[in-house]
Chains A and B, each alone.
Chain A
Amino acid sequence: MFRASATLGLRRAAWGLAQLAFPFVVVAIAWEAFAILGPFPPRLFPRLDVIGSTFVRLIATGILPLHALDTILRLAAGFALGGVVGVVVGMLMGRHRWAEDLLVPVVSVGNPIPGLAYAPLFVLWFGLGNLPAVLLVGFSATFPVIVNTWTGVKAVKDIWIRAAQVMGAADRQLFRKVVLPGALPYVLTGLRLGLARAWRVLIAVEMLTSVSVGLGWLIFGAREFMNTDVMLAGIAVIGIVGLALEKLVFERIEQFTVVRWGMMQR
Chain B
Amino acid sequence: MDQIELRAVSFEYTANGRRVLALSDVAFGVGVSEFVCVVGRSGCGKTTLLNILAGFLTPTKGEVLMDGKTLHGRGLDRGVVFQDFAQLFPWRTAQRNVEFGLEMKGVPRDERAATARRFLTLVGLDKFTGAYPHELSGGMQQRVAIARALAYNPSVLLMDEPFAALDALTREDMQRLLADVWRETKKTVVYVTHNVAEAVYLADRIVIMTPHPGTVKSQITVTLRRPRDPLSIEFLEYQKRVVADL
Contact = CB atoms under 8 A, between A and B. Distances in A.
Do the two shown chains form a genuine complex with each other? yes
Interface of A: 157, 159-160, 162-170, 173, 177-178, 181-182, 184, 257, 260-263
Interface string B148-172: 1100100000000000000000000
B95 to A, nearest CB: 14
Contact of A167 (B133, B134, B152): B152
Given A167-B100, A169-B104, A262 B135 contact: yes
B7 to A, nearest CB: 23
B87 A163 contact: yes
Given A159-B84, A159-B86, A262-B134, A166 B91 contact: no
A177 B89 CA distance: 10
Nearest to B76: A168
Interface in B13-32: none
Contacts of A169: 100, 104
Given A159-B84, A159-B86, A260-B132, A164 B91 contact: no
B54 interface: yes
B89 A181 contact: yes
Nearest to A257: B91
Contact of B82 (A159, A178, A181, A182): A159
B56 to A, nearest CB: 7
Interface residues of B, number: 27
Contact of B86 (A157, A165, A167, A178): A157
Interface of B: 54, 56, 74, 76, 78-80, 82, 84, 86-91, 100-101, 103-105, 132-135, 148-149, 152
Contacts of A166: 54, 74, 78-80, 149
B97 to A, nearest CB: 9
Contact of A162 (B56, B89, B152): B56
Nearest to A258: B91
Contacts, number: 65
Contacts of B135: 262
B104 A168 contact: yes
7 nearest A-B residue pairs (beta carbon): A262-B134, A167-B101, A168-B104, A181-B91, A166-B80, A261-B90, A261-B91
Contacts of A168: 74, 76, 101, 104-105, 152
The A interface, classified by DSSP as helix, strand, loop or mixed, is helix
18 contacts: A159-B82, A159-B86, A162-B80, A163-B82, A163-B89, A166-B74, A166-B79, A167-B76, A167-B100, A168-B74, A168-B104, A170-B104, A173-B104, A182-B91, A257-B91, A262-B132, A263-B90, A263-B91
Contacts of B87: 159-160, 163
A201 B40 CA distance: 62
Contacts of B79: 166-167
A163 B100 CA distance: 10
A169 B148 CA distance: 14
B1 to A, nearest CB: 25
Contacts of A167: 76, 79, 100-101, 104, 148, 152
Contacts of B86: 157, 159-160
A178 B92 CA distance: 10
Given A159-B87, A262-B134, 8 more contacts: A159-B86, A160-B89, A162-B82, A163-B87, A164-B100, A168-B101, A168-B105, A260-B132
Contacts of A164: 89, 100, 104
Residue from the set B74, B89, B133 with the largest chain A CB neighbour count within 10 Å: B89
Given A262-B132, A262-B133, A178 B78 contact: no
Contacts of B80: 162-163, 166
Contacts of B76: 167-168
A30 B55 CA distance: 70
Contacts of A160: 86-87, 89
Contacts of B78: 166
A187 to B, nearest CB: 13
Contacts of A177: 100, 103
Given A160-B87, A163-B80, A166-B54, A261 B104 contact: no
A257 B92 CA distance: 10
A20 to B, nearest CB: 30
